[in-house]
Amino acid sequence: TTDPSRRAIRKLLSRVDDILDVSRMETGKLSIDPDITELATLADSVCVELSPLAHELRIDIVSEVDTALPFIKVDADKVERVLINLVDNALKYSPPDKKVIIRAYEPGNSDVPDGFVQIEVVDSGPGIPDEYKERLFDRYTQVEGRKKVRRGVGLGLTFCKLVAEAHGGHIWISDNPTGGSIFSFTVPIAKITPLPEDEPSLTGD
């Protein structure tokens, strides 16, 4: 099986997972299994996963996530799928020879709430009209009049919203000052509890 075929199969399976998970989350049946995770590792995995597609489109995916960021407590599989959905969406509408950037901020930066890390996917696409900035997270909503590019099932952003909210965070869209959009979402930081020996330890509490 060729690499493009493998990617197509993985994308199809991911969309099926999104459909099932959206249904389960909305009926309260999907369980989130949070664990201590390094965000930089997740971001790097997404870059590797989508780099062949980005190469075909002549777009660079760049992770600017600092390894010094606090660890996060999330369901790593689902948060990785959120990032894949957001980066794939950015690739879908970005012009050639541009960058899609993954970056993150800890509290004290960019109005990030205490106890959370803010993750952003930045593109240089056509941008999102104000009237769609919230509606795009609803099922099957697309910007009217926009050329369809690699049509999907229209549930990717709905899945992203439900995952962010299941972790106690939220997701939103803002304008990229240099053109395009910034998709941002927040996830909780893993708490650190000192051990009796005064050595720091990560806990799930």
User: What integer pLDDT is reported at residue 32 of this predicted model?
Assistant: 84
Query: In whole angstroms, what is the distance from residue 160 CA to residue 157 CA?
Result: 5
The CA-atom distances, in angstroms, between 121 and each of 16, 136, 174, 202 are 23, 15, 11, 27
- What average pLDDT does this structure show over 158-171? 91
Residue ranges of E strands in 50-203 = 60-63, 72-74, 99-105, 116-122, 171-175, 181-188, 192-194, 200-202
Extract long-range pairs of 22-29: CB within 8 Å, 24+ residues apart.
22/139, 22/155, 22/158, 22/159, 22/162, 25/162, 25/163, 25/166, 26/162
- What average pLDDT does this structure show over 121-131? 92
User: What integer pLDDT is reported at residue 108 of this predicted model?
Assistant: 86
Both structure tokens of 170: 């939220």
Nearest CA to 25 out of 187, 143, 139 is that of 139
Does residue 1 have a pLDDT over 50?
A: no
- Read off the pTM: 0.80
| pLDDT tens, residue by residue, 36-83 | 999 999 999 999 999 998 999 999 999 999 999 999 999 998 999 999
Does residue 97 have a pLDDT over 60?
A: yes
Least confident span in 9-23, 36-50, 96-110, 159-173: 9-23
Nearest CA to 163 out of 90, 45, 93, 79 is that of 79
Question: Average pLDDT of the chain?
Answer: 83
Query: In whole angstroms, what is the distance from residue 159 CA to residue 85 CA?
Result: 9
